[in-house]
Structure formats: structure tokens, C-alpha cells
Amino acid sequence: MQSSPDTEREIFPYVTENELRLELVEQAKKMALGENRDHPWKDNTSLFLLLSRLIFFD
């Protein structure tokens, strides 16, 4: 089950980009690739993934 942006905002309403850690993004990427070697994240850097989510939520 995938969450929607509204769900993420509801759960983490006060999290700012200063509190996000790139190593956690890298860990999430590794987990996603462990489930699916052709996951859409495979060719993206951790920084790109983090920034793309911040832009998406603004």
C-alpha cells in the first residue's frame, strides 16, 4: 500500500528539510532496490530523491 502526500503531511507535519538525513534516504533506496532491482529510484542519487520529495511537497 502506498501512502499519499496528504498522509505523509498528516504524520510528519513539523518535519523540515534540516531534519532529514541523506543516509536514511540511501537506506530507503537500498530497501526499495532489494524488493525490485528495476525500481525507478535505481538511477537517482540520494540527494535527487530527497530534493524531489521536498519540491513535491512545497
Confidence (pLDDT) at 31 = 92
Confidence (pLDDT) at 18 = 77
Tell which residue, 31, 13, 25, 23, has the closest CA to residue 53.
Answer: 25
pTM: 0.57
Q: pLDDT for 5-56, tens place per residue?
A: 565 556 566 767 677 777 888 888 899 999 999 998 899 888 888 777 765 5
Confidence (pLDDT) at 13 = 66
Measured distance CA(46)–CA(6) in Å, rounded: 23
Q: Go through the chain and tell me how many residues it has.
A: 58
Measured distance CA(8)–CA(18) in Å, rounded: 17
